Chain A
Amino acid sequence: MERARISTLARLRKDIDRLEGGSFDGGAGAALHRVPLGHVEADAVLQGGLLRGAVHETFAQGPQAAAATGFVAALVGRLAPRRPVMWVRQDFSARENGGLSMSGWCEFGLDPRFVVGVRARDAEAALQATADALACDALGAVVMEIWGETRHVDLVASRKLTLAARGSGVTGLLLRIAAAPVPSSAETRWMVRAARSPPRPAWQARNAQVWDAQVWGAPVFDAQLVRNRHGRTGHWIMEWNCDECRFRDAASLGAPAHPQPVAAAPADRPHSARTVAPDVAPGAASWRRTG
């Protein structure tokens, strides 16, 4: 009987969602399921933010594992603040890239109390645990960290994860290190590298035994959105603000120009960020990419 009441409650909630237009493919209510990252241009391209209840992939080369980890951790911080998070990782990844440190998680501006770590033996076990976790709507986000190429994570597996995420509303974040992208049903795909952090004057540093005038500042990512199901792609330098727990545009801080080239907007698809203000209904954007 208690069970029946809970399911009634869930059904009523879903009804309210539907009445408010909570269908996932666009529509006015889609904004409810999108979480703004804080980076103005990226949010504009993502039509308001990163979609909840979908799967997002992050790829990085081997040496850039920590930067990709930081980017995914930041997405977790945006998508699921104060919600339980399950971080599923493959044993080999921890040996190769170092284990996720909760002291670092804390310093990153996130709350370690909500993190449950799963130490899967191999990619297959990790995938199974992730699929289970994505079906549990009590979680805020599920991260699957896999090192290297594996035949287990293919289009079929990715489709399963997407369906599970859509059913429960939990966001799945795939962290693939030292792997090449394969076809998948993910909502977005990011390629992440570390970027040079904004300088701080040395007198701000706490324990400085510093000779030149600069020490380093907040984490900065060179994030390339290479695939977006419902919009255009882009390439930005994003700075993570650990105190406010949101991204911001690294260039807007008056930092010097970055050494990495930033891709220009393609000529055939004009840059919408300059014309569409971020708080305009995101459904207004008319183009769409599929595949």
Chain B
Amino acid sequence: MLHQVPHHGGAPGNAHFAEAALSDDSPCIVVAKDHNALVVSALNDAAARLGLDVGTALATARAVCPDIAVFDADPAADAAALDAIADWCGRFTPLVALDPPHGLLLDISGCAHLFGGEASMLETICRALHRQGFVVGAGIAGTAVCARALTRGCPGRIVPEGGEAAAVAALPLFTLGADDDITRGLRRAGLKTIGDVAARGRHEIAARFGADFVALLAQALGQRDAPISPRRPPPDFMVEKRFADPVATDSVIAATLSRLAQTLIVVMTRHGKGARRLDAGFFRTDGAVRIITVETGLPVTRVEIVDRLFRERLDALADPLDPGFGFDLVRLAASRTDNVTEAQRDLDTHIRDSDEVSALIDRIAARIGGERIVVHLPQDTHIPERAVLALPAQHHLAAAATVAWPARAEGEPPLRPLRLFAPPEPVEVLADFPHGPPAAFRWRRGFHRIARVEGPERIAMEWWRPERPASPEPVDDEFVRAHPPQGEVTVERIDPAGLTRDYFRAEDSEGMRFWLYREGIHGREVATFRWFLHGVFA
């Protein structure tokens, strides 16, 4: 387990600070608001030499050094920078976890020998990060908490298996990374180092500071271990190619991907697997990492398909792959795999057809995005806008091909329109009397006189479901306020989304056919109706 801190005072994302801190010997600090006071949250060596520390008030810092350079903290940029560093660390191990606010945990079990052993790996990482402009402290230990304590207390150490307790005994308590309250409480009790706390009885500590802290302590001492939670699940299969001389041309990159795909597929075939999702990672020499993903509906077992999908995807990228000074590592990982079942497909055109459609869907999805190519599943509801669910075709093609749709009534004209507006469009309707069918209406500045009408078909909202379809627009009660309902009609205000709808199928004098609805029941739910056009028939 390796832990590293990219910057001893934090704020790796603040570019101005980083520049100033490295280039200049003048003191500079980063301030953040803490309990309505501006306090120092990070500082450089020159500022530390003046006697400042994290937590010092800005006013004090200004008093100590009037011309000190002050920068505002930017936690979002810090987090983004930490994410970028974590991406970069992906070249050493697939298991990288964030340890906020400015630490990273790398699980290097079984990886160290690839980089010449633990010591050499630690040096490689530190040197490379330093070259990128970060100040790094790092350590290697058997457990994550122990490595974190080492990084904060005495960076650069490698603790052998079983030596954790001895290594952390002399370290101050804050290195554990427990809550401030706990650290302060222990210090007040006279316990200054981890060794002091470890010497006390566990039950005493647990009684005062809780079982969580005891677990943390046990992990620091190497008595117990907990796995880290990596940012991405480790891929099932992974191959990579390193370049001594960075590559930048498209043709070399494509050829590399193709060769990697070949290797990957040979390995996966041996296990009887095919790839459903492939991630290609491009690691630039300057530390930037770009990961490009393609998904497929059926497990892929052929190199040409992988090549073609990546070609489509790379061509369609909104911001193209920028090699900068070149990529020194290209990685291809199968992050989702499926078992491959071999089907005999010589004369059975049906199987061949569905495979080809699936491949076509993959190609289009690689270019325009998987959520933009859909199949449809019927839903058990009468509410028109919810009756059909559109789902990504890559994942639901087989389900959609076998689902049973409600049969249409023989001899009837279509009861549902071919085109549905989402949301329904408000229209002005003239009706002969309030409960009556519409006689004419105005929609999009066109006036339609209705020649034939059929209805109403009443569709009530589903009161037994908590979530309701969104109301087309907020109810405008101006008219109701101006013209209060006459007589004994009293109306309770109810949720507009729960109003009953009365649908009418109407044909105008030119032959256009509309699906209109009246919202609410007159006198019971609403005082005045609103009308909507929900769809248009062919």
Contact A103–B388 (Cβ < 8 Å): yes
B351 to nearest A CB, angstroms? Answer: 10
Separation of A106 and B417 alpha carbons in the complex (Å): 10
Interface membership of A285, Cβ < 8 A: no
Contact B418–A113 (Cβ < 8 Å): no
B529 to nearest A CB, angstroms? Answer: 16
Interface membership of A63, Cβ < 8 A: yes
Interface membership of A38, Cβ < 8 A: no
Contact A107–B415 (Cβ < 8 Å): yes
The interface residues of chain B lying within 8 Å CB-to-CB of A118 are 364, 368, 372-374
A31 to nearest B CB, angstroms? Answer: 23
Query: Which one of B410, B418, B507 lies within 8 Å of A104 (CB-CB)?
Result: B418
Query: Which one of A86, A217, A221 lies within 8 Å of B413 (CB-CB)?
Result: A217
Separation of A105 and B384 alpha carbons in the complex (Å): 13
The interface residues of chain A lying within 8 Å CB-to-CB of B510 are 193-194, 196
Contact B364–A129 (Cβ < 8 Å): yes
Separation of A65 and B421 alpha carbons in the complex (Å): 12
Separation of A74 and B418 alpha carbons in the complex (Å): 11
Query: Which one of B364, B411, B457, B535 lies within 8 Å of A132 (CB-CB)?
Result: B364
Interface membership of B511, Cβ < 8 A: yes
Query: Which one of B356, B412, B419 lies within 8 Å of A100 (CB-CB)?
Result: B419
Contact B511–A195 (Cβ < 8 Å): yes
Contact B408–A242 (Cβ < 8 Å): yes
Contact B418–A100 (Cβ < 8 Å): yes
Query: Which one of A69, A115, A129 lies within 8 Å of B368 (CB-CB)?
Result: A129
Task: For A74, give the chain B residue with the smallest CB separation.
Answer: B538
Encoded as 1 (CB less than 8 Å from any B CB) or 0, chain A from 268 to 290 comes to 00000000000000000000000
Number of A-B contacts (CB under 8 A): 215
Stretch at the interface among B129-137, B445-453, B465-473: B445-453
The interface residues of chain A lying within 8 Å CB-to-CB of B413 are 197, 200, 216-219, 242
Separation of A75 and B410 alpha carbons in the complex (Å): 20
Interface membership of B376, Cβ < 8 A: yes
B421 to nearest A CB, angstroms? Answer: 4
A57 to nearest B CB, angstroms? Answer: 18
Separation of A71 and B419 alpha carbons in the complex (Å): 13
Given A138-B352, A207-B457, CB of A219 within 8 Å of CB of B401: no
**Which residues of B (391-414) have their CB < 8 Å from a CB of A?**
393, 397, 400-403, 405-406, 408-414
Given A101-B388, A196-B507, CB of A66 within 8 Å of CB of B410: no
The interface residues of chain A lying within 8 Å CB-to-CB of B402 are 113
A96 to nearest B CB, angstroms? Answer: 10
Separation of A139 and B360 alpha carbons in the complex (Å): 10
Q: Quick one: which of A137, A200, A209, A212 has the most chain B CB within 10 A?
A: A209
The number of chain A residues with a CB under 8 A from chain B is 75
Contact B414–A139 (Cβ < 8 Å): no
Separation of A107 and B345 alpha carbons in the complex (Å): 35
Question: Looking at chain B's contact residues, is the secondary structure mostly helix, strand, loop, or mixed?
Answer: mixed
The interface residues of chain B lying within 8 Å CB-to-CB of A41 are none
Interface membership of B354, Cβ < 8 A: yes
Given A69-B418, A106-B416, A216-B505, CB of A64 within 8 Å of CB of B512: yes
Contact A70–B408 (Cβ < 8 Å): no
Question: Looking at chain A's contact residues, is the secondary structure mostly helix, strand, loop, or mixed?
Answer: mixed
Contact A63–B367 (Cβ < 8 Å): no
Given A112-B405, A115-B376, CB of A220 within 8 Å of CB of B418: no
Contact A240–B412 (Cβ < 8 Å): no
Encoded as 1 (CB less than 8 Å from any A CB) or 0, chain B from 420 to 451 comes to 11100000000000000100000010100001
Interface membership of B239, Cβ < 8 A: no
Separation of A242 and B45 alpha carbons in the complex (Å): 81
The interface residues of chain B lying within 8 Å CB-to-CB of A19 are none
Contact B420–A108 (Cβ < 8 Å): no
Stretch at the interface among A1-9, A44-52, A183-191, A223-231: A1-9
Interface membership of A121, Cβ < 8 A: yes
The interface residues of chain A lying within 8 Å CB-to-CB of B390 are 117
Contact A108–B538 (Cβ < 8 Å): yes
Query: Which one of A138, A215, A218 lies within 8 Å of B354 (CB-CB)?
Result: A138
B80 to nearest A CB, angstroms? Answer: 27
Separation of A211 and B350 alpha carbons in the complex (Å): 52
The interface residues of chain B lying within 8 Å CB-to-CB of A102 are 376, 378, 388, 405
Encoded as 1 (CB less than 8 Å from any B CB) or 0, chain A from 229 to 258 comes to 000000000001011000000000000000
Interface membership of B363, Cβ < 8 A: yes
Contact A5–B451 (Cβ < 8 Å): no
Given A138-B354, A240-B538, CB of A128 within 8 Å of CB of B419: no
Task: For B355, give the chain A residue with the smallest CB separation.
Answer: A138
Interface membership of A167, Cβ < 8 A: no
Interface membership of A125, Cβ < 8 A: yes
Given A107-B414, A215-B452, CB of A117 within 8 Å of CB of B374: yes
Query: Which one of A5, A98, A139 lies within 8 Å of B422 (CB-CB)?
Result: A98
Interface membership of A43, Cβ < 8 A: no
Separation of A172 and B390 alpha carbons in the complex (Å): 23
5 example contacts (A-B, Cβ-Cβ < 8 A) are as follows A113-B401, A115-B375, A119-B372, A129-B364, A210-B437
Add 13 more A-B contacts to A105-B418, A221-B538 (CB < 8 A). A84-B357, A98-B419, A99-B419, A101-B384, A114-B401, A129-B364, A136-B357, A138-B354, A138-B355, A139-B360, A216-B507, A219-B537, A243-B410
Closest 3 CB pairs of A and B: A70-B538, A66-B536, A98-B419
